[in-house]
Amino acid sequence: MKAGILTGGGDCPGLNAVIRAVVKKGHTLGYNFVGIRDGWKGLLELSTMPVTAEVVSGILPVGGTILGTSRTNPLKKSEDTDKVFKNINALGLDALICIGGDDTLGVASKLFDMGVKTVGVPKTIDNDLCGTDFTFGFDTAVSIVAEALDRLHSTTESHHRVMVVEVMGRHAGWIAVYGGLAGGADCILIPEKPFDIDEVCACVNRRTAANKRFSLIVAAEGAYPKEVSGIISKDKTLDAFGHAKLGGVGEFLAVEIEKRTGHETRHVVLGHLQRGGSPTAFDRILATRYGIKAVEMIRDGKFGRMAALQGAKIVDVSLHEAISKTKTVDMEIFGIAGVFFG
């Protein structure tokens, strides 16, 4: 068995832990692996690297991906799709392990339909893939947001300000809700629930009336006010999968809050800090379990499927199901976070 392994889309803490687990488990079954560089781009350009036991040694706690990544869509042009098939044959791959979010796994799913033996591993800090309770990388992002909120609390309180913290989360506000809950946010805004700017201001004013002289508001980058139709995006260009580059809701809101309440307001964009660095212990373990499962799926001929966490168990679900829709925030947990709003 010779399998290719690639990491696509935005990077995410825990990618290297998956790669390491795949290679170590695979070797116990006599499998060999080829590392495809930079996601689907590497398959188009036949850019590969060896992923031996030596190469993966020591990478468990290392952030990013030793394989590199990109947001290349190899199915956009038919000549590229032909190249993918040609290069899979040229490399002599019997299977392909695709570690990615909805875009990368969407390609893996389509390639499976076209006859390629793909298996998927769910990666995204956004935690928005269906069929799995958690994607790896999410826990690390939440921990980073919680730590940032702890730090922002002290400076915001000292200056009696309002602080708007913009976090990642395109179509789903998982990071905002879990990070905000862990960091004691006074208001959390998510893409699933367009917000009313006056209600956000009312939350700030209620806190002032209750002698709380500061407020910490967490907004997912995909959150938007009812008054504006659709997401706020400063950069109007689209990526290869047609996604808008988000960003700007924090700044927008800070200006509006200061204007409407008279409270001095600042904003912070946590951005790619949420994706960088070493994975948490939870993500290292989850990523390792996913890597082991990916190899077991190949062994058992379970192609067109994705490793998934359901409860405490690692299972497999169809790639079709995983990418069928965006897994939006569970309103029960959002309700819990809401108990602590101003």
**Residue numbers of the site for ligand F6P (CB under 6 A)?**
10, 101, 124-126, 168-170, 221, 246, 275
Helix (H, G, I), strand (E, B) or coil at 122: strand
Number of C-beta neighbours around residue 30 at 10 A: 7
**Smallest distance, ligand F6P to C-beta of residue 137, A:** 9
Annotated catalytic residue, options 102, 126, 139, 283: 126
Angstrom distance (rounded) from CA 50 to CA 269 = 37
* Two structure tokens written together for 204: 């700030």
Nearer to ligand F6P, 204 or 268 (CB): 268
Nearest to 205 by CA among 252, 253, 263: 263
Residue number, nearest CB to ligand F6P = 168
The helix (run of H) or strand (run of E) holding residue 189 is strand 187-189
Angstrom distance (rounded) from CA 251 to CA 261 = 15
Burial class (CB in 10 A: 0-12, 13-18, 19+), 244: middle
**Smallest distance, ligand F6P to C-beta of residue 108, A:** 16
**Smallest distance, ligand F6P to C-beta of residue 168, A:** 3
Nearer to ligand F6P, 2 or 272 (CB): 272
Nearer to ligand F6P, 67 or 298 (CB): 67
Nearer to ligand F6P, 108 or 116 (CB): 108
Angstrom distance (rounded) from CA 9 to CA 68 = 10
C-alpha R_g of the chain: 21
**Smallest distance, ligand F6P to C-beta of residue 141, A:** 8
Is 94 known to be catalytic? Answer: no
* Two structure tokens written together for 140: 């690390």
Catalytically active residues, by annotation: 126
